[in-house]
Copies of this chain bind each other. A is one copy, B any other.
């Protein structure tokens, strides 16, 4: 039996604790660009924060730039220079969050609550000097803590920091999530709440599978694996930051005032671990089959090192013997769809040099996966997954596994059928236990 195991009803620790009145909550809340896209939405965020918050809670709010602001700033830069990047691009983009924090502080004040906005620098977010994709080197949260002590809601510009030499940096993709989780870690906040347009992490994409369930909890590793395999609810970088600092991350809806999904190290009910937690899919995949590769040392190395030099990530790899007598093999691998033209050119070039029998590229593929920390040492999972696909008449082209996941490459048209079949196998429709 593969259904997920039952777990007690559990929600964000800090949220529960505050409701019980045992002590103050200390919460970092992060709202993304679409939640703060207009002055009206900024007011709504301020109201939402106050609804969730007792007067004595310590609350830090991290926000991104309003709606399309970042794209508009990039367009301005492109009107001036062909390839905007580096230090000046960070100087430019950092203004986006600075606008939001100022407006949100005004919104709180107009609702009668003391608030103060801080840039990344003012909040003590120190980074290395890798402009456009800086890494957080340290956090000096003294000013944030001082403003909290004064009873203020502290609003911090996400996505940005400053180098030791006083230059403004930005953190790249998922930067605001990272700011929020890192700040929560440095200040030992109870929880970091990530508000998004979904209300949590689901056992499968609810747009594909109607019976998909929202999970109450998931481990950092499971979340990272689900993101890697196509379910990007949060940027993996922020999840890794949470894992490193032991910060519980609560993914919840901007619009619905209900608990979402808590990402943390282990489950609050320790005796049981889920076997399968989620079913993911990824259609941003392409396959290259290299037929008749000479079976001698260094050939596979040539293929994959040249792909690596071109900055192409190879995901699944299968090598099979085509003809043992002739010492030739077939190699099949997958890459991200946008990399296909470059990858194809590299393999074709090597094919001429080393006389491959043929190269077949295929865009019309997708990857479906099951993820679960309890999967290791449960060999039946793979069989159950393959069985579900087989019963649904879906052919498996490539298989790969990790400690906490199994993935199958299938035809892209079959994605919905495949995800549904696998989900039905592991999550019984009448069973709400795997939450």
Contacts and interface: CB of A to CB of B under 8 A. Distances in A.
A117 B91 contact: yes
Interface in A262-287: none
Interface in A54-96: 73, 76-77, 79-82, 84, 87-89, 91-92, 94-95
Interface in A404-421: none
A43 interface: yes
A40 to B, nearest CB: 7
Contacts of A79: 38-40
Contacts of A148: none
A95 B84 CA distance: 19
Interface stretch (A104-112, A211-219, A390-398): A104-112
A341 to B, nearest CB: 29
B99 A92 contact: yes
Contacts of A73: 99
A191 to B, nearest CB: 27
A89 B107 contact: no
Q: How large is the interface on A (under 10, 10 to 19, 20 to 34, 35 or more residues)?
A: 35 or more
Q: Which of A39, A84, A99, A119 has the most CB of B within 10 A?
A: A99
B116 A87 contact: yes
A21 interface: no
Interface string A164-190: 001110000000000000000000000
A102 interface: yes
A235 interface: no
Contacts of A203: none
Contacts of A95: 95, 98-99, 102
A49 to B, nearest CB: 14
B122 A166 contact: yes
A76 B99 contact: yes
Contact of A94 (B38, B80, B98, B143): B98
A92 B102 contact: yes
A38 to B, nearest CB: 8
A368 interface: no
B84 A106 contact: yes
A122 B91 CA distance: 11
Leading 5 A-B pairs by shortest Cβ distance: A39-B79, A92-B102, A95-B95, A91-B102, A81-B110
29 contacts: A38-B79, A39-B79, A40-B79, A43-B80, A73-B99, A76-B99, A77-B102, A77-B103, A80-B103, A80-B106, A80-B110, A81-B106, A81-B107, A81-B109, A81-B110, A82-B110, A88-B102, A88-B103, A88-B105, A88-B109, A88-B116, A89-B106, A91-B101, A91-B117, A92-B99, A92-B103, A95-B99, A98-B98, A119-B168
